[in-house]
């Protein structure tokens, strides 16, 4: 017996876990498009689709940002011009909570690509999905090169979105 009593499996019935690929459901497609929007759009987009108590975790600086700190930091940062999302996974914990995980390759004008492992948690309030948590783990340079070599010549799992701001 462990600290949770008979085991973690007792907790699993509380969640309806369904893993789907990026485009398998209407909700899935909408959430992936929303996620792309957080990379490419401005502060007004964040105001619309960000939960008021959202937490975002980035490398230092800026580190951990909560609520209004997110939009304030966004106004000071240059926007991404492209984003590719690879190896995406969508897990519906229940009808109101969905988790996205993916590998991001983003680029700003004139900069080298930024590569990171990302996760986002969305919750549905009434009929609107809102982002409640986002986390990025940048890949070290040696893994970024290795990832590029692995993906060379292989079809990407998702579409690339180009947008100039």
Burial class (CB in 10 A: 0-12, 13-18, 19+), 98: buried
**pLDDT-based confidence at 11, cuts 50/70/90?**
very low
Q: What is the mean pLDDT of residues 104-116?
A: 94
- The residue that leads in pLDDT, 20 or 135, is 135
Where in 44-96 does DSSP place strands (E)? 50-57, 64-66, 82-94
Q: What percent of the chain has pLDDT over 90?
A: 58
Q: What is the mean pLDDT of residues 57-84?
A: 92
Where in 11-165 does DSSP place strands (E)? 18-20, 50-57, 64-66, 82-94, 97-107, 114-125, 128-138, 160-162
Q: Report, at the CATH architecture level, how domain 21-158 is classified.
A: Roll (3.10)
Domain boundaries in the chain?
A: 21-158
Pick the range with the lowest mean pLDDT from 11-15, 42-46, 74-78, 90-94.
11-15
pLDDT score, position 142: 60
Q: What is the mean pLDDT of residues 6-34?
A: 57
């Amino acid at each position: 017996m462990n600290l949770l009593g008979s085991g973690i499996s007792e907790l699993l019935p509380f969640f309806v876990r369904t893993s789907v690929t990026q485009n398998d459901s209407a909700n899935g497609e909408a959430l992936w498009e929303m996620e792309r929007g957080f990379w490419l759009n401005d502060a007004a987009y964040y105001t619309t689709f960000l939960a008021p108590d959202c937490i975002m975790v980035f490398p230092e600086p800026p580190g951990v940002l909560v609520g209004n700190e997110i939009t304030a930091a966004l106004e000071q940062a240059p926007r991404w011009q492209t984003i590719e999302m690879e190896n995406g996974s969508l897990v519906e914990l229940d009808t109101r909570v969905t988790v996205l995980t993916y590998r991001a390759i983003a680029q700003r004008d004139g900069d080298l690509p930024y590569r990171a492992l990302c996760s986002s948690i969305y919750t549905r309030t009434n009929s609107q999905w809102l982002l409640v948590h986002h986390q990025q783990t940048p890949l070290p340079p040696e893994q970024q090169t290795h990832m590029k070599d692995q993906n060379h010549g292989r079809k990407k799992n998702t579409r690339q979105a180009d947008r100039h701001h």
